[in-house]
Chain A
Amino acid sequence: MSSAEPTRRDFLYIATASVSAVGAAAAAWPLIAQMNPDASTIAAGAPIEVDLGPIASGQVIKVFWRGKPIYISHRTKEEITEARDVDVASLPDPEPDEKRVKPGHEEWQVLIGICTHLGCIPIAHQGDYKGYFCPCHGSQYDTSGRIRRGPAPANLALPPYEFVSNTKIRIG
């Protein structure tokens, strides 16, 4: 081959450069993937079961799932009424209480206890709405965990969970 055959020469250069680029990209992948959760962390994040039996009416307990605090609130009748008597449309993040609990289990409110503002942990049974109060920047949530006042943009999130029996839930 001589330089009189530009297409073949160009092809060789392009092929070499492309194969090198593919190799570099493939080599970068393990360096990126290693920062994702490792196998033991993923395994430790398996679903957990929580026995609701010992939780008295009006009591809120905190359990941990995947390193996140999960609030399980055994709501009183008054708390449920309070949560349902609100004009949903007037809320900053409108959502009816019915959608935030499992049907037939209205007294059980399960929430991810992380403020939707910047990730602090709100304190249960505090604030003007007797729900949750975040001490960091003053966000106030009601007994359904909905944002009512303060800088937080959204209601407290709900973890995936289901009732295994009437007194036991599986989170995850």
Chain B
Amino acid sequence: MSGQSTYKPQNAALRWLERRLPIGGLIHSSFVAYPTPRNLNYWWTFGGILAFMLAVQIVTGIVLAMHYTPHVDYAFNSVEQIMRDVNYGWLLRYLHSNGASMFFLAAYIHAFRGMYYGSYKEPREVLWILGVILLLLMIMTGFMGYVLPWGQMSFWAATVITNLFSAIPGVGDSIVTWLWGGFAVGNPTLNRFYSLHYLLPFVIAGVVVLHIWALHVAGQNNPTGVEPQSDKDTVAFTPYATIKDSFGLAVFMILLAWFVFYIPNYLGHPDNYIPANPSVTPTHIVPEWYYLPFYAILRAIPSKLGGVIALASSIVILAFLPWLDTSRVRSGRYRPLYRFFFWIFVLVCIGLGYLGSQPPEGIYVITARVLTTYYFVHFLIILPLLGVFETTSPVPSSISADVLKSKASVAAILLAVGLVTLLGTSSSSVAAEADTPPMNKWSFAGPFGKFDRAQLQRGFRVYREVCQTCHGIQLLSFRNLSEPGGPGFTPAQVAAVAAEYKYKEPNDQGDMVERNGRPADHFPPPMLRFPTGTPPDLSVIVKARGYERGFPGFVIDMFTQYQEHGADYVVALLKGYENPPAGAELAPGTMYNKYFPGHGIAMPPPLSDGRVMYTDGSPQTLDQYAKDVTAFLAWAAEPHLEARKRMGMQVVIFLIVLSGLLYFTKKKVWRAVPGHA
């Protein structure tokens, strides 16, 4: 997009097209011949990674939209149908949900890189502001996407975030009603969020084009902050930047694959596997990890309007960064004091993220106020003053003269670790009320995990003989019992099981007639009805429950792939009935359970030794029953777990091979550039 193109196609047809529409020349000058500073480090690969992640989100999103139903009665189940029945649906949905997290991770690294190297300074102010607009659009899009599965967190996120607008004096309530299309968050809200969630990514793509255009007009910044002065300072975008970006992208994809295939629910909240319930708010609601710093700022201000203004200002202030930073030296490399304050600022952001995940009480509130104040002080006081008082170190005369090859500094690694920690804070956010359930050994844990077929069959027996009286598993069909990766019943056994259940259907005369269940049928609702409330459906209960891991457990879990919080909790609950300790107050009609939040549980102890007959010689004990039925429910919640882990291994090995090849190709290509090994 800059300068006259020297592009001359060899092919006659392409020459014909080029005279009429010079698109080849545009691509050639923008992505092939475009001169890029030769000293860019790997922090510069995140621009390409972001473009790739946007493409991944749009492609998987379009595909998911083919199967999703934006209606309050069907949204939750249609997402579950994607996870269970659609070909590779689990893969596409986990790619999309974890892809959003990786998109934000890359965006934050990209933005911090811009801050460190002063990439927002003259003449790149518009480029930077477009970036802030992109972040704002991403925040809106991500929020509306999170509402779509219509779980508890979706519903209450929609309620809380739209209510931010009610803080506007005078017209606030009218605006909120307008946003909702009703008197509360409901079906009209879900429908419009779906529409906008589909639209905004294309708006993002449009602004990305402007962002790249502005980049190509001003040229890329580089670690020295010195503009390229001659051809010696630059290399052609292709192959040099292309191959380096490809290598960076391949490594980044390993991280994405790790989350998608091994810990796909790590960044989510168990509560969002509970269908939306407008009459009950979850005890502790937190946004996704990437909103946590802003959420902490919102809660730090003890005034409704003030909090909303602070929240909005914390993002808008970024747009003014080019003028708040008064230093004439661009790169943080030559600004020792700025560098110090930059890392303090990074730590403050991570700290705010942690505080955003914690309950708004006591020391957390006070710390959040201190850090919020610092956040604004950094922009409004420190940056303007630094430009006046800071003694900068000598800036090299040109990029070529800059022989200092900066190795990945300790500080940079700190940023990476910090951001990854921030990823983790979301999963540490459930308030600790009850005792921590003990960890069990599960056959389906870890990268090679597989279900124990005999255990699943025993668990199904326990479910049928005990649980199903009160609890349904309506997201499951009988046919699932014979599908690969499940309990391994034969189709004949499945047909026999299904035939034991009765279904009422209207015949062609309109009369209700009873028929036997068929393998294609879903499990029916439970037989017993309670006037006081329906016991939860158990289809996804293992993913809908969990417990706080705390620090440093939640960080370690990311590497050990500990994903069985829910299973461990369910086992502990089934075995956790005790005599209430002295002084414990229980609501009438409830029993004391050590692991149930609040301890008072309405369900009487369901299992006891000898309750269910086993035919395979397994011990008929409470302990065995609890583990078996939990394993069965873990499969019910994630029927494609085995396929997921198997594919994960293939994908990770493939990406490691690809990264290795790209690394050596990159080294070979860059050999032509003097001064590069």
Residue numbers of A with Cβ under 8 A of B are 1, 9, 12-13, 15-16, 19-20, 23, 26, 30-31, 33-36, 38-41, 43-44, 46
Q: Are B668 and A34 in contact (CB under 8 A)?
A: no
Please judge, given known A-B contacts A34-B86, A34-B89, whether A43 and B661 are in contact too, CB under 8 Å.
no
Q: A43 with B63: in contact, given A38-B87, A38-B89 (CB under 8 Å)?
A: no
Establish whether residues A43 and B87, one from each chain, have CB atoms under 8 Å apart when the complex forms: no
Expressed in whole angstroms, the Cα–Cα distance for A39 and B479 within the complex equals: 10
**Interface residues of B toward A: which range?**
20 to 34
Contact of B88 among A1, A33, A41 (CB under 8 A): A33
8 Å CB contact of A30 from B81, B92, B658: B92
Given A30-B87, A30-B88, A43-B477: A35 in contact with B66 (beta carbons within 8 A): yes
A28's nearest neighbour on chain B, judged by CB, is B59
Assembled-state Cα–Cα distance A34/B66 (Å): 9
Task: Give the distance in Å from the alpha carbon of A43 to the alpha carbon of B483 in the complex.
Answer: 11
**In the complex, how many angstroms separate the beta carbon of A164 from the nearest chain B beta carbon?**
16
CB-nearest residue of chain B to A15: B661
Given known A-B contacts A34-B63, A34-B87, A40 and B654 have beta carbons under 8 A apart: no
12 more CB-based (< 8 A) A-B contacts, given A16-B662, A19-B658, A31-B63: A9-B668, A12-B665, A16-B661, A16-B664, A20-B246, A34-B63, A34-B67, A34-B89, A38-B85, A41-B85, A43-B479, A46-B519
Q: A23-B654, A34-B87, A38-B89 are in contact. Are A16 and B519 (CB under 8 A)?
A: no
Q: Given A33-B88, A40-B520, A44-B520, are A16 and B81 neighbors across the interface (CB < 8 Å)?
A: no
B88 touches A34 (CB 8 A): yes
Complex: how many Å from CA A36 to CA B124? 48
For the complex of A and B, 8 pairs with smallest distance between CB atoms:
A30-B88, A43-B520, A39-B85, A38-B85, A16-B661, A33-B87, A40-B85, A38-B86
Distance (Å) between the CB of A16 and the closest chain B CB?
Answer: 4
Of the candidates B87, B477, B519, B662, the one having the most CB atoms from chain A within 10 angstroms of its own CB is B87
Q: Which residues of A contact B84 (CB under 8 A)?
A: 39
Contact across chains for A36 and B661 when beta carbons are under 8 A apart: no
Q: Which residue of B lies closest to A22 (CB)?
A: B654
A102–B85 alpha-carbon span in the complex (Å): 36
In Å, the complex CA distance between A40 and B67 comes to 12
A13 and B665 contact, CB distance less than 8 A: yes
The CA-CA distance from A42 to B645 in the complex, in Å, is 25
Q: Known A38-B87, A43-B479; judge A23-B81 contact (CB<8 A).
A: no
Q: Are B662 and A38 in contact (CB under 8 A)?
A: no
Inter-chain contacts of A1 with B (CB < 8 A) = 668
Residue of B nearest to A63 (CB): B508
Contact of A23 among B479, B658, B665 (CB under 8 A): B658
Interface centre among A19, A26, A30 (most CB of B within 10 A): A30
| A157 vs B661: C-alpha distance when bound (angstroms) | 55
Give the number of residue pairs across the A-B interface with Cβ within 8 Å.
67
Distance between Cα atoms of A162 and B201 in the complex (Å): 52
Contacts of B66 in A (CB 8 A): 34-35
CB pair B661–A19 under 8 Å, yes or no, is: yes
Return chain B residues, CB-CB under 8 Å to A39.
84-87, 479, 483
How distant is B264 from chain A, measured CB to nearest CB, in Å? 15
Residues of chain A within 8 A of B519, CB atoms compared: 43, 46
8 A Cβ contacts from B626-670 to A: 654-655, 657-658, 661-662, 664-665, 668
Most buried by A among B59, B81, B86: B86
Q: Name which residue of chain A comes closest to B669, CB basis.
A: A13
Closest chain-B Cβ to A9's Cβ sits at a distance in Å of: 6
B87: which A residues are within 8 A, CB to CB?
A: 30, 33-34, 36, 38-39
B197 interface residue (CB < 8 Å to A):
no
Q: What chain A residues lie within 8 Å of B86 (beta carbons)?
A: 34, 38-39
Asked whether B348 is an interface residue with its Cβ less than 8 Å from the other chain, the reply is: no
Chain B residues with Cβ below 8 Å from A20 are 246, 658
Q: B292 interface residue, CB < 8 Å from A?
A: no
Give chain A residues whose Cβ lies under 8 Å from the Cβ of B89.
34, 38
Q: A15 — which chain B residues lie within 8 A by C-beta?
A: 661
How far apart are the CA atoms of A13 and B477 in the complex, in Å?
Answer: 49
Task: Give, as a whole number of angstroms, the nearest-CB distance from A25 to chain B.
Answer: 12
Contact check, B85 vs A30: say whether CB atoms are below 8 A apart.
no
**Which A residues are CB-close (under 8 A) to B85?**
38-41
Q: How far is the CB of B498 from chain A (nearest CB, A)?
A: 11
Residue from A12, A34, A38 whose CB has the most chain B CB atoms within 10 Å: A34
Distance (whole angstroms) from the CB of A168 to the closest CB of chain B: 15
B274 within 8 A of A: no
B658 touches A46 (CB 8 A): no
Most A Cβ at <10 Å: residue of B89, B246, B661: B661
In the bound complex, what is the Cα–Cα distance between A44 and B518 (angstroms)? Answer: 9
Rounded to whole Å, the gap between the CB of A63 and the closest CB of chain B is 9
Q: Which of A31, A33, A39 has the most CB of B within 10 A?
A: A39
Contacts of A34 in B (CB 8 A): 63, 66-67, 86-89, 92
| Min CB gap A24→B, angstroms | 11
Pairwise interchain contact B520-A19, C-beta atoms closer than 8 A: no
The contact string, 1 if C-beta is below 8 Å from chain A, for chain B 71-105, is 00000000001001111110110000000000000
Residues of B within 8 A of A40 (CB): 81, 85, 477, 520
A sample of 11 cross-chain residue pairs with beta-carbon separation below 8 angstroms, ordered by A number, consists of: A9-B668, A12-B661, A19-B661, A23-B655, A23-B658, A34-B63, A34-B66, A34-B67, A34-B89, A35-B66, A38-B67
In the bound complex, CA of A30 to CA of B67 (Å): 14
Residues of B within 8 A of A41 (CB): 85
With both beta carbons as reference points, the residue of chain B lying nearest to A8 in the complex is identified as B668
**Chain B CB within 10 Å, residue with most, of A9, A26, A40:** A40
Contacts of B63 in A (CB 8 A): 31, 34
Residue from B59, B84, B520 with most neighbouring chain A CB atoms (10 Å): B520
User: B543 to chain A: closest CB distance in Å?
Assistant: 20
